[in-house]
Amino acid sequence: MEKKIQNFKKGFTLLEMLLVVAIIAILAGIVIVAINPSKQLGAANDAKRWSDVNTIISAVYQYAIDNSGTLPGPSTIAATTNNVCNSTGTTTAGICTTGAACGAFTDLSSTTNAGTYISSIPVDPSATATSTGYYIVKDGTTSRITVCAPSAAGTSAISVTK
């Protein structure tokens, strides 16, 4: 009687491997949809915008307190009665970046001198080269200052008025 030696190889079949890969792909898709990375990134950018807007308006007011009510900048902050945060095309109310040639933008570089009020003007995550993406205006009737970020990812612009 001759013994047959069976050679069993251990491993996975192609079908088993394909099933595992398909299950992993389905689970990964569900996790990505549940996490929603674009919404999370938008929320993180909006949190930065809130912080930046508060930082800018605080620096402006600290400067004004130390300088007998004079607002910073060689040019004056644009006075308006319009809500500039609803219009991203208003360049006269835009804040220029630290060290840039401001042109039509509002220059707040005097708040950054020696880091007294702020080390540098914050920049919006979606800003261009010369503009910070933030706007500053002075209400024509009440002289209250508004700093806003019109390109917020949420449903409305981020705005702080003092």
* 6-39: pLDDT as tens digits: 777 778 889 999 999 999 999 999 988 888 888 8
**Domain range enclosing 143:** 41-161
In a domain, 82, yes or no: yes
The total of structural domains in the chain comes to 1
* 51-88: pLDDT as tens digits: 999 999 999 999 989 988 888 876 667 777 666 665 55
* Residue 77 vs residue 147, higher pLDDT: 147
Helices (H), the chain: 14-35, 37-66
Supply the DSSP symbol for 135: E
In a domain, 144, yes or no: yes
Average pLDDT over the chain, rounded to an integer? 82
In a domain, 137, yes or no: yes
Residues 153, 151: Cα–Cα separation, whole Å? 6
In a domain, 48, yes or no: yes
* Residue 20 vs residue 95, higher pLDDT: 20
* Residue 4 vs residue 146, higher pLDDT: 146
Predicted local confidence at residue 110, as pLDDT: 85
Residue closest to 17 by CA, chosen among 6, 25, 27: 25
In a domain, 33, yes or no: no
In a domain, 2, yes or no: no
In a domain, 11, yes or no: no
Q: Which helix (H) or strand (E) covers residue 21, if one does?
A: helix 14-35
pTM across the whole model: 0.75
